[in-house]
Structure 1
Amino acid sequence: MSNSTRLSDLRNIGQQTERWLHAIGIHNLSQLEAVGPVAAYRQLQDLGYNVSLNLVYALQGAIINAPWNELPPALREQLRAEVSALARHAPGDAPLFIVDGHLDIAYNSLKFNRDFRHTVAELRQQEADAPSPNGIATISLPDLIQGGVGLALASIFVMPLKSPMKFVYHEPTTYEDGRDAHRKGMAQLDY
């Protein structure tokens, strides 16, 4: 592929991505290589576009002519780390304040015995043989810190022992009456 290859001829670049890249002055492979996927991602964020890490993978894949979802794990991790580092700084080097809300931290601890102080990777490794109703761990304190989250809002989650549809739940967060709901909620606050 020539460095002057148009964006529309590159792998992983659809019409929307092409429009976004044109908005930041990137019109061909050479310009994309010069700016790089992470810097392009940041410029698009600065313009208010709702872009994700997958865009960085797609742009890198376009540069090396590979499917975005088949990038080598080490390269994906390097790109993710570079994007994470960006999250800690806003334009002008002012810190970017990130808020993550609705975190069921205590619920996950009480129900699944998850220790929020371990990384998500460690939690997933510990739970490799856990039953599937547990779901997978998706959040942890080390990962929030690494992502630059400045404020984490945890929710208190309790539910009735019997649902309106007559299902009966037996778990550490179910309650039978108002007092029991208060006690279960306070247990999460104590966590």
Structure 2
Amino acid sequence: MFTGIIETLGSVTELVKEQENIHLTLKSTITGELKIDQSVAHNGVCLTVVAIDNDEYVVTAIKETIDKSNIGDLKVGDEVNLERAMKLGDRLDGHIVQGHVDQTGVCTNIQDQEGSTVFTFKYDTEMNNITIEKGSVTVNGVSLTVVNSKENEFSVAIIPYTLEHTVFKHFEVGTKVNLEFDVIGKYVTRLQSLYKKKK
């Protein structure tokens, strides 16, 4: 379980493809605190640490993860948002994030406003994911509040600190992002679809 509050950035130093899996080696300032089998969210994708060597560690992404996220698009040198799993009893500063990406979206607009930057994302509605005005959404692992919620589109306003300390600073129109929708909203949507089937 995660909160969507990014701890630090990691840098991809190596990518090794093995059959349908990808082994990613990353360098980060938190590597020395990691342990084998520990869960770490990478751009919102929960991956397990399988090896550690000095300031680098390795995680493995399987085919399903690659298909549903932007992990397969990473290149050596790319930066990644990192968050370790929350500790029991910690403050929930963001919202409940599972680290299970629902689907990807695409950045369609970036607009500078007074004191913040507004990013707009579009996504495919075939998977029945939804946002609501002032609800929560996770974009590349960052817990954010939805503004201008539409059927297949939403925006988020990023403060300068978040822009500087996450991969949002690298976003441009056309950037593919990982989306995890609010877990409560997903349960409500699922219950509604089951109710409609029974009628």
TM-score (norm 2): 0.23
> Between Structure 1 and Structure 2, which shows a larger proportion of strand residues?
2
> Bigger radius of gyration, 1 or 2?
1
> Between Structure 1 and Structure 2, which shows a larger proportion of helix residues?
1
TM-score (norm 1): 0.23
Q: Which has the higher contact order (CA 8 A, sep 6+)?
A: 2
